[in-house]
Amino acid sequence: MSGSVPDRTQSDHGRGEDEVVDLCRDLLRIDTSNYGDHSGPGERAAAEYVAEKLAEVGLEPQIFESHPGRASTVARIAGEDPSRPALLIHGHTDVVPANAADWTYDPFGGEIADGCLWGRGAVDMKDMDAMTLAVVRERMRSGRKPPRDVVVAFLADEEAGGVFGARHLVDNHPDLFEGVTEAIGEVGGFSLTVSEDLRLYLVETAEKGMHWMRLTVDGTAGHGSMTNTDNAITELAEAVARLGRHEFPVRLTKSVRGLLDEIGDAFGIEIDVDDMDGTLARLGGIARMIGTTLRNTAAPTMLNAGYKVNVIPGQATAHVDGRYLPGYEEEFLADLDRILGPKVKRETLHSDKALETDFDGPLVEAMRTALKAEDPISHTVPYMLSGGTDAKSFSDLGIRCFGFAPLQLPPDLDFAGMFHGVDERVPVDGLRFGARVLDRFLDNC
């Protein structure tokens, strides 16, 4: 961090918030549903929208289409000192699908109700896309350069592993990120209210790795009326049940240990590492976000076998979403094979690394400073994300990645439940708060 934060008023830093809600509404109304295949025409529309908004203020954005309809937008903002390493701000424009019949409001309508902006992607992660656009646009209009170069990337395909988005750019256009050493992206910087005197803001410093896999059992096909001791469905069902019910051992990584220490101090709770389930039971809603970062997990998600009720099939398959902690991939895979047994063939369909970085350095201090300026009772802490983000791809370029998409949340909002959930929504005031914090952060990044 160079220098000190300029002495600006809160209103000076709030100018980017003036259009953040409208930008987010516009993005929510572009259906960028990602079904995990080659489709994605909405991503092209979103990329063009973003490019237009950046070009309006004098930037020269580029659109990269990795496959028809699968498009990302990237632009570089010149900083005061181009000799310094650059910063990347990345966000994805795709969203998981939504069934409108299940929602209170149209998931692609961008409705404002009850103080929130509703829609698929409101927190995952068109809110951060809108904050970034709003702040960049205002800084460009007012001629306020960041201390160093900033690359902004609005990416396709994150919800299906980033193959057509971040992964494509890293593999085919690494020059876009020339000089970038640090990055911020999604799922971090959100608040957890402890009391009227303390709000924790969780910054992502780690995320679990993934193994999406297919399990296959081959058996003996036959007539459904006959006795069959080599039934593929039976063997697979028993293996999947063992896996689904298995509780992997607790493994405390440095990010989780750091968060637990902070949580324990904040709530006045002694963290008992020998009884983590008991400890979690005393933590209330935050336990949902912490629980899955204590151990490896493997969730069966799909089953398929057979084609006729009176025919025993010769093969049965299942799909499993596996997530492992940083440093524990080998242990995870060995445990899987032991649990599944020798008759189950395990095939990895998509895998990606686990990430972890230290919660220190000038960039972390810039986050703390920006949050404290907008929320005097803030206290910034590290945490591990149980899922994954595009940071996995950017880390291949040697970029140190954090999750920092600042939001101040109402204490009663089930924030974790918003991700991929029905009635996803973001508080309007939280969006505006995030834009102010991001603006301050860029002053001192």
Both 108 and 227 in one domain: the answer is no
363 occurs within a structural domain: no
Final residue of a domain: which of 336, 352, 368?
352
Residue 254 token pair = 């440095």
Q: Which burial class, exposed, middle or buried, applies to 389 when counting CB atoms under 10 A from its CB (0-12, 13-18, 19+)?
A: buried
Check residue 341 and give its pLDDT: 96
User: Mutual orientation of helices 362-374 and 428-443 as an angle, nearest 10°?
Assistant: 130
Domains: count for the chain = 2
CA distances (Å), 232 to each of 27, 225, 311, in order? 46, 15, 12
Q: Are 17 and 432 in contact (CB under 8 A)?
A: yes
Both 335 and 216 in one domain: the answer is yes
Residue 85 token pair = 């390493």
Domain that holds residue 177: 10-189+382-443
409 occurs within a structural domain: yes
200 occurs within a structural domain: no
Both 329 and 393 in one domain: the answer is no
Both 239 and 185 in one domain: the answer is no
Check residue 234 and give its pLDDT: 97
In terms of pTM, does the model score above 0.85?
A: yes
pLDDT in tens, 421-436: 999 999 999 999 999 9
CATH code of 313's domain: 3.30.70.360
- 151 contact partners, CB below 8 Å, separation of at least 6: 74, 75, 76, 77, 86, 87, 88, 89, 176, 177, 180
In order along its 445 residues, the chain shows pLDDT tens digits of 333 333 444 445 556 688 999 999 999 999 999 998 776 679 999 999 999 999 999 999 999 999 999 999 999 999 999 999 999 999 999 999 999 999 999 999 999 999 999 999 999 999 999 999 999 999 999 999 999 999 999 999 999 889 999 999 999 999 999 999 999 999 999 999 999 999 999 999 999 999 999 999 999 999 999 999 999 999 999 999 999 999 999 999 999 999 998 988 888 888 887 888 787 777 766 777 788 899 999 999 999 999 999 999 999 999 999 999 999 999 999 999 999 999 999 999 989 999 999 999 999 999 999 999 999 999 999 999 988 999 999 999 999 999 999 999 998 888 878 888 999 999 999 999 999 999 999 999 9
366 occurs within a structural domain: no
| Angle at 367 (CA atoms; ends 365, 370), nearest 5 degrees | 110
Both 146 and 96 in one domain: the answer is yes
